Amino acid sequence: MRAVINNPLYRSLKTLAERKEAFYKYIADKKARQRRELMAQIEARRESFFEVLRSLPITEYTRYNKVAKLTADNPINQAVPDLRERLDFFGEYIGRLRKDLE
């Protein structure tokens, strides 16, 4: 507090309520920005995983174990290192395949 109180920017907001409001707005904006960045990263990983799946000879009845064997040497396993996330993406892809066939 001693270092901040002498800063002229500290006095730009007159009341403590204004300072608190500005701080909480900053925190909310930062969380929203981080969330958008995380969602963009997940979407990029999903699209790259789907591209690899499109290049494989799979059907709507293919199991993940077969895909894991086919992509063992593929760098997609490093791009999506979390197994749970790969399983989720695979389930989503198979669901889309099944929906397209209906």
Write the pLDDT tens digit of every residue in 26-61: 999 999 999 999 999 999 999 999 999 999 999 999
CA angle 81, 86, 91 (to 5 degrees): 175
98: enclosing H helix or E strand:
helix 83-101
Say how far apart CA 63 and CA 94 lie, in whole Å: 9
CA angle 100, 39, 55 (to 5 degrees): 40
pTM comes to 0.74
Q: H helices of 12-72, where? A: 16-54, 64-70
What is the predicted pLDDT for the residue at 63? 94
Q: What rounded mean pLDDT belongs to the chain?
A: 90
Say how far apart CA 30 and CA 39 lie, in whole Å: 14
Half-sphere exposure of 39 (CA within 13 A, CB side): 6
